Amino acid sequence: MRIADKAVLVTGANRGIGQALVHEALRRGARRVYAGTRGALPIADGRVTPLKLDVTSAEQIQRAVEEVGSLDVLINNAGIALYDDLNNPASLEQQLAVNLFGPFNVTRAFLPLLKRSKGAIVNNVSLVALAALPAVPGYSISKAAAFNMTQSLRALLAGEGVSVHAVVIGPTDTDMNRGFDIPKAPVQTTAQGICDGIENGEEDIFPDPASQSIAEGWRNGVAKVLERQFAGFVPETATNLG
Ligand SMILES: NC(=O)c1ccc[n+]([C@@H]2O[C@H](COP(=O)([O-])OP(=O)(O)OC[C@H]3O[C@@H](n4cnc5c(N)ncnc54)[C@H](OP(=O)(O)O)[C@@H]3O)[C@@H](O)[C@H]2O)c1
């Protein structure tokens, strides 16, 4: 999958990693970049189409599908992280709504377009999808669930020629982790790593130095072996997806 001449949609594109992904897709020659945003979009480029897209709004998702004629790459990037301690069910629900049901519903809505183009779905998850970070347990649960969903979609859509990638992002310098005093990759590094992974056809993308340090262990690990074994159990109804 080359990004040049492709149509790419990035959710949560107005700041952070999403904004860097829009710039990186443009740099690689994307034909059109649809930039999902809830508010103003601080990017002015003739190849960028702003899309009003709160990923928790069924109505906005539907309107976005109608606006996007064809699509090659969907990047489910929008996300929230709340500092909680699992004492508040509403906090968990809110994070699941954005980080799990957001990509779930956006993906389902755009699947007909992606099947037509034999395109790619890219879900930005996190290192905390692989091991919980107790400072953000609700966020960890939501990313683990989104990662697991990515594995199922990968198997369910393989027969349709749609590739499904998980991005295991490590600490990256954005508003999301402003309070954490730890080494962080610049957003440009992470965005470049994500686009390299898409172009290299990597199932699981480790885009930054922290995530790269565990990439080999993951790819050769027991969880990956199990994923490949389980991927054989695809129901016949999988073709109904989208
Ligand atoms: N930064 C890291 O270290 C790190 C590490 C691992 C994974 N990630 C993941 O990478 C992705 C991007 O994170 P980031 O660091 O760039 O975060 P960020 O700077 O906080 O930006 C989050 C983006 O998501 C958008 N968003 C939040 N809720 C939304 C909703 N309901 N509908 C649509 N858009 C929504 C925000 O829009 P508004 O401006 O309207 O709020 C913003 O554009 C997230 O999925 C995050 O979990 C980040």
> Residue 237's pLDDT band (boundaries 50, 70, 90)?
confident
In angstroms, rounded to a whole number, what is the distance separating the alpha carbons of residues 29 and 83? 38
Which residues are known catalytic residues? 139, 143
pLDDT at 241 over 90: no
Instruction: Rounding to the nearest 10 degrees, give the CA dihedral for residues 43, 47, 53, 59.
Output: 150
Q: What is the pTM of this model?
A: 0.98
Annotate 202-228 with three-state secondary structure: CCEECCCHHHHHHHHHHHCCHHHHHHH
Cα 79 to ligand 1 centre (Å)? 4
Could you give the percent of the chain with pLDDT greater than 70? 100
Mean pLDDT of 61-78: 97
In angstroms, rounded to a whole number, what is the distance separating the alpha carbons of residues 149 and 108? 12
- pLDDT tens-place string over residues 123-135: 999 999 999 999 9
Cα 90 to ligand 1 centre (Å)? 19
Q: Whose CA is nearest to atom 11 of ligand 1?
A: 77
- Ligand 1 atom closest to the CA of 76, numbered from 1: 45
Q: For position 236, what pLDDT does the model report?
A: 83
Cα 118 to ligand 1 centre (Å)? 27
> Whose CA is closest to 36, among 69, 70, 65?
65
**Token digits for 7?**
């149509």
pLDDT at 240 over 80: no
In angstroms, rounded to a whole number, what is the distance separating the alpha carbons of residues 31 and 167? 23
pLDDT at 242 over 80: no
Decide whether any atom of ligand 1 lies within 6 Å of the 172 Cβ.
yes
Classify residue 120 as exposed, middle or buried by CB count within 10 Å of its CB (0-12, 13-18, 19+). buried
Q: Whose CA is nearest to atom 2 of ligand 1?
A: 172
Q: For position 95, what pLDDT does the model report?
A: 98
Decide whether any atom of ligand 1 lies within 6 Å of the 193 Cβ.
no
Pairing mode, strands 73-76 and 7-10? parallel
- pLDDT tens-place string over residues 93-109: 999 999 999 999 999 99
Domains plus CATH for the chain?
7-240 (3.40.50.720)
Give me the half-sphere count of Cα atoms (radius 13 Å) on the Cβ side of residue 40: 2
pLDDT at 137 over 90: yes
Residue burial 42-68, b: 16+ Cβ < 10 Å; e: rest: ebeeeebebbebbbeeeebbeebbeeb
- pLDDT tens-place string over residues 108-117: 999 999 999 9
Mean pLDDT of 45-65: 98
- Ligand 1 atom closest to the CA of 125, numbered from 1: 7
- Ligand 1 atom closest to the CA of 185, numbered from 1: 3
Decide whether any atom of ligand 1 lies within 6 Å of the 76 Cβ.
no
pLDDT at 49 over 90: yes
Decide whether any atom of ligand 1 lies within 6 Å of the 15 Cβ.
yes
- pLDDT tens-place string over residues 178-192: 988 999 999 999 999
